[in-house]
Chains A and B, each alone.
Chain A
């Protein structure tokens, strides 16, 4: 383990925590604008998180230890997963860090605990949320694996770091492959971060909730951790898409000036993607729950196409 890598760990974690609330707010802002509303400021998510951190935690008398450890486990798993996707600076990978399969299962671990916590408090909505999340994840997981397998085929590596370095140094794969990867990853982002048309992050209707249903019983500091981990997860998946499609600005050797430029460039690219997500969400209604697989099938189909192209070209 070298100094560069230790610096990477610190930089990546700090940047991802710092920028992810911004992206969440940006999506909200864009959606508000499409509806003709002013919307909250782009700093609203920061204020909300700080407010929640100051509030006391209330546990349901029916809840067990699961409820208490879940926010920590989720946050930890997501932060470790965040280390697998370099945002602004790609060092030499060390150990298993950057492994695409490990990355997927860290996300799965977080989701598993979130679903357990949803059941734990014994409220009917938490249980419904968990049940739906698990149904969706059992369908989206094979799709995600195929998408990542396609990436592995295209870049001939299982490590995200190597994909990024390859992408930044020797140039991107052909535009057709990039478009297909882009669409597949975009769908993964929508599904994994519970956005319209899969789930509605802004709903007040308990009966329709998926992600919100699972964290309905969370409060105070724990809710802040759950919200932040969801934001970080979204930023990490967005970074994966951004740094594969438009690697411009991504550093491979560490300099202070380069770092600042890279951060600015990343925030700009991320904001644009957040805007696209906001517009995408505004353009359609939520799908019927049992019709969701048709959305995943699209990602599945495009990824299979990437693999076929990669194998036969």
Chain B
């Protein structure tokens, strides 16, 4: 494994040369390697990384990072356990890498909306999170914009409406779905082009609930910002809060007590459990098998109640804080949790057996919504969705944080990439999480759950494996307060996968494909 961490440095040596690299590279607290890159070297560097199987896992922009450029773009590349960040200074103009890395398209559009950086050569220059009603030239993440209500346009003339990809031909119909849905779910617009019942093309439009989280975080103290991190996506509260706190701890070099990490890990696994149980119930509802669905939704509800007993919050909020945890969980409660987990495992097995022995369910799941393995790298598909398509990615194993190096989860892999694979992967992860929680309770060390240390300035990357996949955040602290907080959740990446997964399927199968990926709308739209 150790040789893998050098892959990034070696690749940088190859495209820059050893001599040049020396004074351009610096290592971040998270073992990420920042390489400053000049405009003339940029294209060959990215081409080199693309050829060497590096995945672009994030791209974000930041103002005032270097003196000689208005904006700085951070291109975060990952290969196995190595992370390489290309730091590129620009002045409102940049070249696009979307042709090499299709995943960059959303990232670049996000940077354009937030900071006004234009990307030349991009195949898609439409706005992303700023919808039509926002005025022209409005870029909320610029430092010159002070956070305040925005005057939006009351009406949008037809010419200014968001242009969807045009798909035409004999018998092709457009079916617009959402953003208001019949069920109680988050808003998102799905534009289907169908031929009869078969889906020819799908375009997803999100960002109906923009809350300005990144802007909100600026100027806050790390302690205040934990609440904001928890609000990124309700059912990823612990994951996002932990990623944020990890970043703060790395920057300030705060040693986190071991017991805090054990408890944090239990909370993260409980969160994963609730999420996967909800997905499985949802998938069964969507193929109209409520008998099977109720097995999992009942367990999920009980899991929420257990969360509430443990932490006072069904979504485990208010526990994680920089330096450890806000409160300890007493032994009696942990023993109760162990008993709960034990009986939960038995009931889960019963439910799983009912579902997996129902032929009609398997028939609906198998071969539905296939994500081809070839898409994993270009679209940066992550989490259970990637592992169901043959991907070997799990932050807990690739970049172990906390105590995951001691309690490594099994990383199950399937290759079919259909709904059934995702269901099975999630089932196996549920079993694994239950095991992990039991092992953690058994090995729980005594001691404090928090260590306080002064906040220092600096910046770092931090990643966790949420239920949906890799959640990444980048935090820059300046003068003791947040200068820039960038979050990229797994949902942001996986939304692009669904457009490919549904092609060739029939419209009535869309809900189950969507549910099998279970993406967060809020986590996509900050």
**Chain A contacts to B: CB under 8 angstroms:** 31, 34-37, 124, 128, 132, 196-197, 200, 202-208, 282-291
Contacts and interface: CB of A to CB of B under 8 A. Distances in A.
B69 interface: no
Contacts, number: 78
13 contacts: A128-B507, A197-B360, A206-B181, A207-B177, A283-B291, A285-B288, A285-B289, A285-B292, A285-B360, A285-B364, A287-B363, A289-B197, A291-B363
B323 to A, nearest CB: 43
Contacts of A203: 288
Contact of B363 (A36, A128, A205, A288): A288
Decide if the interface of chain B is mainly helix, strand, loop or mixed: helix
B294 to A, nearest CB: 4
A205 B511 contact: yes
Interface in B285-324: 286-294, 298
B511 A207 contact: yes
Given A124-B177, A207-B510, A284-B359, 9 more contacts: A35-B294, A36-B294, A128-B175, A207-B177, A207-B508, A283-B291, A285-B289, A287-B364, A290-B197
Contacts of A205: 182-183, 286, 511
Task: Give chain B's interface residue range (CB within 8 Å of chain A).
Answer: 20 to 34
Interface of B: 175-177, 181-183, 197, 284, 286-294, 298, 358-361, 363-364, 506-511
Contacts of B175: 124, 128
Given A285-B358, A288-B364, A289-B508, A37 B289 contact: no
Nearest to A35: B294
A208 B284 contact: no
B197 A208 contact: no
A128 B183 CA distance: 18
Pick the 3 closest A-B CB pairs, nearest first: A286-B288, A285-B289, A35-B294
A68 B511 CA distance: 32
A206 B288 contact: no
Given A35-B294, A36-B298, A205-B182, A286 B506 contact: no
Nearest to B362: A285
A34 B288 contact: no
Contacts of A37: 294
Contacts of B288: 196-197, 200, 203, 208, 285-286
A138 to B, nearest CB: 14
Contacts of B177: 124, 206-207
A205 B298 CA distance: 21
B287 to A, nearest CB: 4
Contacts of A291: 363
Contact of A124 (B176, B284, B290, B360): B176
A289 B506 contact: yes
